Amino acid sequence: MTNLNLHVNQHIVFADKSFIRLLVASRRWGKSRLLLTEVIYRSLSFDQVIDPASPPVVLLCCPSFKQARQIHWQPLLSLLEGQPYVKNIDKSNFRIDIYNRPSILLRGANDSEGDGLRGLKIYFAGLDEIQDFKQHSWTDAIYPALLDTPNSKCLAIGTPKGRAHWLYTMLRQNALTLPDWSYHHFSALDNPLLPKSFIERARRDLPPRTFQQELMADFLVFEGQLFDCFNDTHIISTGNPYDRTFVAIDPGSQNPAITVIGLKHQKYFLLDVWENPHPGISVTIDELIAQVCRFAQQYNAYKVFCPDDRGDIVLSLRRYGNKHNLPALKPTTLIKRSKPGVMARIDIVNSLFKQDRFFINAKLTKTISEFQSFCRAQDKLGNYLDQPAEGQTDHSIFATMYALGRLELHNNILAREEEAA
């Protein structure tokens, strides 16, 4: 078998023979390496008769197929291409066939509401980022297929998302109480290969709550405020020259927002905000471009950022910039809304407050109030969830987060990992 070295705590999980193993582990613990090892081992160690009419499969599954492909496909190819036991690699359907053994399949649990998982005879399920699976993908598709397959097993891996999440209330509870389930819980400190300097940097730079959840793998009881590191010291009078300035857009459906961010000595300053002066009445692309141009010229902007669901605005800004020779508009940058995700962007901004690297112009009283009151959603029992509540006035916040998320991508632990995924 292809050699994949595991550290001591990965070996503990690997050696566990339980039907369902739930592993809750932090970032940088080594979850992906363990999962690849499991998937390959489970296929190669299969020793039963294969029914050609209903062949068993080894499933490697992420919340989305795109995620599974980006994280796991290339490592699988690197490990298995050219191996004598590999019969065929189907790069169109992301399937690896092994001689007289179960094939390895990549799938997305949430794609098409889990329909792509139905009908599979799952001998082994390696589930990555289980906290982002829709609950019914597990209860209605994956778990029944495991129960229907003799000698099947599952390794479900995730990171905490609070105590109101089904990972905590259902899967963790089952893993702690059911006799054929088991539960493993590790933090980044439990990876002996991870440099201590990484942990100390994360402890220094991340808000305490983010550090506890993402690096210590703690199931936290969330409080409501999302920017809990924002305080009065981050509200200042601005006006100094900046190394560079940026314009960021949140197009919205009817109520877009445009913000201006200054950068000086690795610190960011929210300098100005424009919002729809007539809420509820749609703003045309021409009006939006006109305001972007005003800000770009007023603040001598270097670049404009806009999310990828409004490619028409990006294209219009680039054309306008080329036609009128406006340097800031020519390189208008398309920002992926999903990379990093909403909560990762919130963590980035909160981390900047924690590090005293993000400040807001005192004149922007409405925006300051929005940052101070930006809060989590609650379930029917009043438990806070790890996601923003709906119905908040947050367009200027999102415009700012698009820019800061992109600018901090290479300096922030959480953003780098979400971009890689």
| Chain position carrying tokens 């065929």 | 88
Q: What CATH number did the domain enclosing 24 receive?
A: 3.40.50.300
pLDDT-derived band at 63, boundaries 50, 70, 90: very high
Q: How confident is the model at residue 412 (pLDDT cuts 50, 70, 90)?
A: low
Residue-wise pLDDT tens digits, 359-386: 999 999 999 989 998 999 988 888 888 8
Domain that holds residue 274: 232-420
- The answer to whether 377 and 388 have CB atoms below 8 angstroms apart is yes
If asked whether residues 291 and 397 sit together in one domain, one would say: yes
Yes or no: say if 255 and 287 are a contact pair by the CB < 8 Å rule: no
**Which residue in the block uniquely carries the two structure tokens 């799938």?**
107
User: What tens digit of pLDDT does each residue of 276-303 get?
Assistant: 888 778 888 889 999 999 999 999 999 9
Give bridge partners of residue 376 from the DSSP assignment.
Answer: 388
Q: In what order do the strands lie in the sheet with 257-264?
A: 235-236, 358-361, 267-275, 257-264, 244-250, 303-307, 333-335
pLDDT tens by residue, 231-289: 889 999 877 789 999 999 998 767 899 999 999 999 999 999 999 888 778 888 889 99
Residue with tokens 């990828």: 308
Return the pLDDT at 393: 86
Closest CA to 267 of 362, 408, 399: 408
Q: What is the pTM of this model?
A: 0.73
* The pLDDT value given to residue 115: 79
Radius of gyration from C-alpha coordinates of the chain: 24
Contacts of 382 (CB under 8 A, 6+ apart): none
Q: Could you read off the pLDDT of 88-121 as tens digits, one per residue? A: 999 999 999 999 999 999 999 998 877 778 889 9
pLDDT above 90 coverage of the chain, percent: 66
3-state secondary structure of 421: coil
Same domain (yes/no): 93, 192: yes
- The one-letter amino acid at 266: Q
One domain, residues 237 and 335: yes
Per-residue tokens: 216: 């210590």
- CATH code assigned at 258: 3.30.420.280
Give yes or no: residues 181 and 258 share one domain: no
Q: Are residues 315 and 378 in the same domain?
A: yes
Our count of domains for the chain comes to 2
Among the listed residues 326, 306, 311, the one whose alpha carbon sits nearest the alpha carbon of residue 257: 306
